[in-house]
Amino acid sequence: MTDSFALPTRFGAQQLGGCYAPETLMQPLLDLEAAFRAAWADPAFLAELKAELRHFVGRPTPLTPAPRLAAELGIKALYLKREDLTHTGAHKINNALAQALLARRMGKTEIIAETGAGQHGVATAAACARLGLSCTVYMGVTDMARQAPNVARMRLFGTKVEPVAAGQGTLKEAVNEALRAWAGRCDRAHYILGSALGPHPFPTMVRTFQTVIGEEARGQVLEQSGDLPEIVIACAGGGSNGLGLLVPFLGDGLRRIAVEAGGHGKALGEHAARLDGGRMGVLHGCKTLLLQDEHGHTAETASISAGLDYPALGPELAALALDGRVEMRRASDDEALVGARLLCETEGILPALESSHALALLPALAKEGAATVLLGLSGRGDKDLSTYQSRLGI
């Protein structure tokens, strides 16, 4: 990779993305872009990242055939890209570790992060412990209650977890507080944003660090089956998981699908499906599809999954959807629970509630005649056991 690799500030015909940030953050963002370009052109940085991904994260993650689930659904072949088998249990560690290495390279000694489902927070906490960096993670009180095991894990790794009680106490509010904290300490701290969101260069940088998922999966499915699948599918919150799996398949003639959180209803405030109900707006530093009320205020969202409970879609994923290169679908809370239970009972794999939204779409794809499917399991479901127990009565 050379210094001139593509680092777009805007995406698609709608020119989504951009850098809508306060003046205090403009120079840190410019410094971050320059540091990222230099690091991505440095063989030593790339070698260290590759070694850490292998020996600390556990890459490459397996591509697991799921023959019993495929037979149950009437699909010829189903492959699962197992990000649930990474260290810390989700895809978030790929980006968190890479940004932590970049922060250390920049001379930063403190890390700030936000988290919703807790997986990005845990991944960042683990990376900081690995590299000897202090860490503070902002987390909404609602998410802290429903993801208590991840709060404990972060604290065990030596990270300070700051509760955020404003608003709904979820991911949106956590991002607000993390950005405020970074603005006050940007001379010594780096903000590890966990989703493909925020002001430039975060969306492209996060996507770049996550495409290791799809690059591995593409090679693995060709090796195992001799051909590419008809469909590649992933769940979509902010976009890091969806882009990480789908972008390496953009040049292939197949269907690429991202599944949003359909929540428990169709009305605004009852779901987190941005493509159906969203309008253009600016949130947390970028222009994208955003759930808003009639006055233009950011709307409340609802999802059984903390990681998908966010009102904006990452700008690059939104552009790919609007340009027709990625299909956006939605799955309800109840459908996600059914999908999770089916995977558990047929394959002995407990998925995160986020991943269960992608699983929920498989019956519909089977009815549409899908023969071969590659599905991204973004994380494991240990963190969601209390929700599964209460909602499924187990």
Establish if 80 belongs to a structural domain. yes
Q: Are residues 176 and 83 in the same domain?
A: no
Q: Residue 5: pLDDT band by 50, 70, 90 thresholds?
A: low
Instruction: Name the domain boundary from 187, 207, 227.
Output: 207
Give the residue among 154, 156, 157 at the shortest CA–CA distance from 138: 154
Here the CATH number for the domain that contains residue 106 is 3.40.50.1100
DSSP string, 151-167: HHHHHHTTPEEEEE-ST
Residues 217 and 350 in one domain: yes
State pLDDT tens for residues 33-50. Answer: 999 999 999 999 999 999
Q: How many residues does the chain have?
A: 394
- For position 7, what pLDDT does the model report? 85
Among 160, 189, 207, where does a domain finish? 207
Q: What is the DSSP letter of 247?
A: G
- Tell me whether residue 7 is in a domain: no
Question: Mean pLDDT, the chain, as a whole number?
Answer: 96
Exactly one of 195, 303, 356, 378 is catalytic; which is it? 378
Q: Could you say which of 114, 260, 316, 347 is catalytic? A: 114
For the question of residue 114 being annotated catalytic, the response is yes
**Same domain, yes or no: 138 and 278:** no
Q: For residue 382, how many other CB atoms are within 10 A of its CB?
A: 13
Indicate if 29 and 166 belong to the same structural domain: yes
Count of domains for the chain: 2
Question: Could you tell me if 251 and 280 lie in one domain?
Answer: yes
The answer to whether residues 242 and 362 belong to one domain is yes
pLDDT band at 10 (very low <50, low <70, confident <90, very high): very high
Q: Tell me the C-alpha distance between 206 and 98, whole Å.
A: 9
Task: Tell me whether residue 9 is in a domain.
Answer: no
Looking at the domain assignment, is residue 6 inside a domain? Answer: no
Q: Is 5 inside a domain boundary?
A: no
Contact in structure between 373 and 231 (CB atoms under 8 Å)? yes
Structural domain contains residue 229 = yes
In this structure, the answer to whether residues 267 and 365 fall within a common structural domain is yes
Indicate whether 67 pLDDT > 50. Answer: yes
Q: What is the DSSP letter of 262?
A: E
Q: Quick one: 48 and 65 in the same domain? A: no
Together in a domain, 269 and 170 = no
Percent of the chain with pLDDT over 70: 99
Residues 222 and 228: beta-carbon distance below 8 Å: yes
Q: Which amino acid is at 169?
A: G
pLDDT of 2 over the 70 cut: no
Q: Are residues 190 and 252 in the same domain?
A: no
Within-domain flag for 3? no
Radius of gyration over every alpha carbon of the chain, rounded to an integer in angstroms: 19
Strand ranges (DSSP E) for the chain?
10-11, 16-17, 63-65, 77-82, 110-115, 134-140, 160-164, 189-192, 231-235, 255-263, 279-283, 286-290, 327-332, 372-377
Question: In the structure, what pLDDT confidence band is assigned to residue 277 with cuts at 50, 70 and 90?
Answer: confident
Read off φ and ψ for residue 167, nearest 5 degrees: 55, -135
Question: Model-level pTM greater than 0.85?
Answer: yes
The DSSP secondary structure of 332-357, one letter per residue, reads EHHHHHHHHHHHHHHH---B-HHHHH
Cβ atoms of 392 and 127 closer than 8 Å = no
CA distance 99 to 295: 37
Q: Which residues contact 73 (CB under 8 A, 6 or more apart)?
A: 362, 363, 366
Block residue for tokens 């940030």: 21
Tokens of 59: 């890459």
Is pLDDT at 1 greater than 60 in this prediction? no
Residue 179 pLDDT > 50, yes or no? yes
Closest alpha carbon to 350 in 394, 388, 294: 388
Confidence of residue 117 (pLDDT cuts 50, 70, 90): confident
In our burial notation (b when 16+ CB lie closer than 10 A, e otherwise), range 155-189 reads eebebebbebeeebbbbbbbbbbbbebbbeebeeb
Task: Say whether 92 is catalytic.
Answer: yes
Its domain, for residue 146, covers 14-54+92-207
CB 393 within 8 A of CB 342: no
Return the structure tokens found at 106.
């920049």
Position 3 confidence tier, pLDDT thresholds 50, 70, 90: very low
Asked if the structure places residue 1 within a domain, the reply is no
Q: Are residues 176 and 267 in the same domain?
A: no
CB 310 within 8 A of CB 302: no
Q: Which of 157, 175, 207 is the last residue of a domain?
A: 207
The active-site residue, picked from 81, 92, 108, 287, is: 92
230 and 198 part of one domain: no
Question: Residue 208: in which H helix or E strand, if any?
Answer: helix 202-210
pLDDT tens per residue across span 307-356: 999 999 999 999 999 999 999 999 999 999 999 999 999 999 999 999 99
